[in-house]
Structure 1
């Protein structure tokens, strides 16, 4: 009989981009191409980061997971066509190997406050408890990789490996509910975590994503695009940024322009119903993106949350 106390949700993993960088120079290589300080991480941990272009724009965004012999990039959606050639180009002059793991193996995402306790009981071992931790466990004779992303407004676990769907079946038996991608979207929008290609694109500067504290180290050494990132930091602001909003009107198609007095001042890029309210992400110009601002526009009233 299902365990009705299990309040977990799970879905196929949305981390569709998964690229592995290995080889003797892999740490130096990644450190020189990303916005966060991977070198400072202990093995078994990760960080959120941008992979900027030379101009400081967002070629890719996601997590960098550090192991003793490799670093893995995990990103929402299909970022591979832009990121993989970029990494391969610079790998030609380094002693590294870049491998696309995006379509290899099974992967699920599980979330809910009891995720660690339930998975520990199923797997018969402790699982990562802290944000941005990872580990490898052997279960039923097969390796499973476990990752703790921070993209959601609750505790979550990414499970990758040949037995991932078998774990999902056991979760369902315990009362966990399989849901579609909309449930994940609700949670990541509530957390203001952007989807590359939707909320942010290679046309946006890194600081426009509004993830400085989470994804940018201003103390690490030089990296590709760092000059632009540092110059914007010295300036103190960007002309637009991604913010969470509450929409009191309707918005059927996305992206949707935010027009005030005939002038476009931003776009709503993502939208989901969260606790009975229309909560979304919007890229809005500096004149209107301060928290608490209420924008009266063709879509109705838009309130900037953070």
Structure 2
């Protein structure tokens, strides 16, 4: 199956309303939102005459078909088809940008710089530049409209630029928590978060983001997946891998696995019988390890998790009787 990409343009349309004064009122829309310091610590920019061809040859998704202002989820695989990095690639007229959870620069940046030596491209690590917050919740677009005095249309995986109180902010739509969400980058990003709180949004810790991304089955590179895992073991084929694009690094292994029809293990969502104190935690059946719980979070009195489980036990609905109790694959 082909991955999902968004081709509609980013739109910010001026409304007839005047911008809100500095003393804003509590908003029902904003009250539905949560925000935290952005967990997307990796931000790499690729520019130059060959930037599009360059990244097309190094990632699993088809960035050529993207329109400017849109993006897609992708892996950057090794020659062996293993996951060097995972995140989102965004396209502008003159550059591509990669955003990834956690600090993936130490692995990805040298990889890109190595291959850039034979291409007319420039690779820049922007990870430490500016501030960034992550905002999510059902009232997102309406709340932004109230704050900006503009209609903000946020399509899936789109990005764009807004001006707020004289400051420039970058907005990246990132689908990781199962609710409308956006990362906001810029020197005044934290101040914008404070304004959201004044309007009724809730400033939360990273553990709330972790809970929501775990429930939404989104992996964190370096926690749930790593350079030891094959791309298909992350269980993101439909969203992050194009099986129709041309050649790229690691494609031979990925295509061979696709032809074979399965990998020996993959990341799945699980229901756990109790809270987990230490991770990763082995799942053993008759003293034989069949998987590992790699992330876990509490939701409504239940413990949900992500686990890398062998093919013999990872089908949805499977109930694994182990030392923990009953682990159910969701």
| TM-score calculated relative to the size of structure 1 | 0.98
- How far apart are the structure 2 equivalents of 1:183 and 1:155? 15
The aligned runs of 1:24-35 (5 Å cut-off) are 24-35=49-60
| CA deviation map 1:33-72 (0-9, x unaligned) | 0000000011111100000000000000000011111111
Number of the residue aligned with 1:258 = 283
| CA deviation map 1:207-248 (0-9, x unaligned) | 000000010000000000000000000000000000000001
The aligned runs of 1:281-292 (5 Å cut-off) are 281-292=306-317
Number of the residue aligned with 1:293 = 318
Residue 153 of structure 1, aligned match among 167, 178, 182: 178
Counterpart contact for 2:274–2:302, Cα < 8 Å: no
- How far apart are the structure 1 equivalents of 2:121 and 2:151? 32
Query: Residue 3 in 1 paired to residue 22 in 2?
Result: no
SS at match of 1:151: coil
Number of the residue aligned with 1:108 = 133
**Alpha-carbon offset, residue 2 of structure 1:** 6.0
**Alpha-carbon offset, residue 143 of structure 1:** 1.6
Runs of 4+ with >3 A deviation:
none
Number of the residue aligned with 2:194 = 169
Number of the residue aligned with 2:7 = none
Query: Residue 38 in 1 paired to residue 77 in 2?
Result: no
Number of the residue aligned with 1:211 = 236
Residues matched between the structures, number: 305
Which moved further from structure 2: 252-261 or 274-283?
274-283
Counterpart contact for 1:251–1:299, Cα < 8 Å: no
- How far apart are the structure 2 equivalents of 1:72 and 1:45? 11
Query: Residue 22 in 1 paired to residue 44 in 2?
Result: no
| TM-score calculated relative to the size of structure 2 | 0.91
- How far apart are the structure 2 equivalents of 1:72 and 1:51? 13
Residue 159 of structure 2, aligned match among 134, 150, 155: 134
SS at match of 2:169: strand
- How far apart are the structure 2 equivalents of 1:125 and 1:162? 21
**Alpha-carbon offset, residue 139 of structure 1:** 2.1
SS at match of 1:131: coil
Gaps spanning 5+ residues in structure 1: where?
none
- How far apart are the structure 2 equivalents of 1:272 and 1:189? 7
Counterpart contact for 1:127–1:135, Cα < 8 Å: no
- How far apart are the structure 1 equivalents of 2:34 and 2:311? 37
Gaps spanning 5+ residues in structure 2: where?
1-23
Which moved further from structure 2: 130-139 or 63-72?
130-139
- How far apart are the structure 1 equivalents of 2:78 and 2:240? 15
Which moved further from structure 2: 270-279 or 22-31?
270-279
Say what the alpha-carbon RMSD is for the aligned residues.
1.1
Number of the residue aligned with 1:236 = 261
